[in-house]
Structure 1
Amino acid sequence: MKTLQDPQKIKQIGDFYIELKKIHHKYFDFWLHDTFLHWDFLLSLSLAVIPWLLWFKFRKRESTFRLLLAGFFVLIISSWLDFWGTMYGLWYYTGKVLPSMPSFIPWDFCLLPVTIMFMVQYKPKTSPILKGLIFSCLTSFIGEPLFKWIGIYVQVNWSIFYSFPIYFLIYLVAHRLSRVKAFDEL
């Protein structure tokens, strides 16, 4: 079938995808032999499972959907930003749970959203700006350097000081979403 798109452009983009597919296969083989079931994989798997288990046990049950709204916002935004950061070579990860995107599932899908959901739930009357600053400090100046020291997070062209305002804004938006009036009070 004839398309509106230029056939040459379709072929060029197809060639890029063939190259990406080759690289993904090569990375999968590496991951399978050098990461899967090694210490860094097991650590990452634990960091992907334990936060959610803790959240299911200690969440405020009547606020589950309110908290999940905030948590899923964090999950989507953090994985999207992480995808862009790795795609543009600002950082990369080792010891991944899965050899695919998003870049680091324990951070994007577990640690960040669960931490924010706990912070939103705990002392709900505390200033969101104060909580956002605490969250930003914890993630930027403790979390990222810790993962860097472990060797799971490798900064290429990035600074923890760039992360600080991003984490702060993510917290503030998540906090705001948790306060949507369509839900019961915390």
Structure 2
Amino acid sequence: MTYQEGLKQVDKATKMITEANQLIVETVMNTFLYTWQWWVAVAMIVTPWIIWGIFRNRESTARLFSVGLLVMVLSEILDALGVSFGKWAYPVKVIPVATVSFSYRLSVIPVLVMLLLQYKPNLNPFLKAVFFGALSAYIGMPILAKFDLYKKIDWSYTYSFFILTSFYLLSHWFSRLNTFEKLEKK
């Protein structure tokens, strides 16, 4: 295949992706919008952040939020890869974008990590990581699947367990860094 043929293939694939995204938008807008599953997904976006706002350790807000952002970025990268390679899908979405599930990846997961980091901070991080991974992968994800907010295609919950456990351990390490100095004029 020549370079120009490759560009034509990419154009063709982009057109197919655009058409598929349009089909998702139409389906969400015409079928799923305002269903009880859609409202559950909305609540999953809003409620965790309200809980975090109320119960967060105010002296550590910036540190914890930085960890939450790290989890969100890593989750979205892996999530985009998983959806792109057909490992899982999100049938009912709050915002009709093919590769994005704001409910779980950008709300529930990072807030749960931030809350676990601040409560019992001296508890063994490996125990907390395993708890977080098991809770998220073996309880949270099957519940999402039951509500049609997540569809496992070619994936195992155990893979998610190991990834989420690693996320927590990375978050724990990141939260312990002493790099939050005040910005002062010199």
Normalised by the length of structure 1, the TM-score is 0.91
Q: Residue 103 of structure 1: which of 100, 116, 123 is its match?
A: 100
Q: SS of 1:170's equivalent? A: helix
For 1:1-186, what aligned pairs fall within 5 Å after superposition? 6-183=3-180
Q: Deviations over 1:68-90 (max 9, x none)?
A: 11111110111111111111111
Q: Is the 2:24–2:97 Cα contact (8 Å) retained in structure 1?
A: no
SS of residue matched to 2:151: strand
151-160 or 59-68: bigger deviation: 151-160
What is the CA–CA distance in structure 2 between the aligned matches of 1:163 and 1:23, rounded to whole Å? 26
Contact 1:92 1:103 in 2 (8 A): no
Letter in 1 for 2:90: Y
CA contact (8 A) 1:132 1:171 kept: yes
> Structure 2 counterpart of 1:118, which letter?
L
Matched residue of 1:116: which SS? helix
Query: Normalization by structure 2: what TM-score?
Result: 0.91
Structure 1 unpaired stretches of 5+: none
* Residues 83, 101 of structure 1: 8 Å contact kept: no
Identity %: 31
Question: Aligned residue pairs: how many?
Answer: 180
Distance 1:173 1:152 in 2: 27
Superposed CA offset, 1:19-77 (max 9, x none): 11111112211111001111111110110011011111111111011001111111011
Shift of 1:154: 1.3
Q: CA RMSD in A?
A: 1.5
Q: Residue by residue, what CA displacement relative to the aligned partner does 1:75-130 show, whole Å, maximum 9, x if unpaired?
A: 01111111111111111112211111543111110000000000001111111111
Distance (whole Å) between structure 2 residues aligned to residue 68 and residue 81 of structure 1 = 20
Where 1:18 maps in the other structure, the secondary structure is: helix
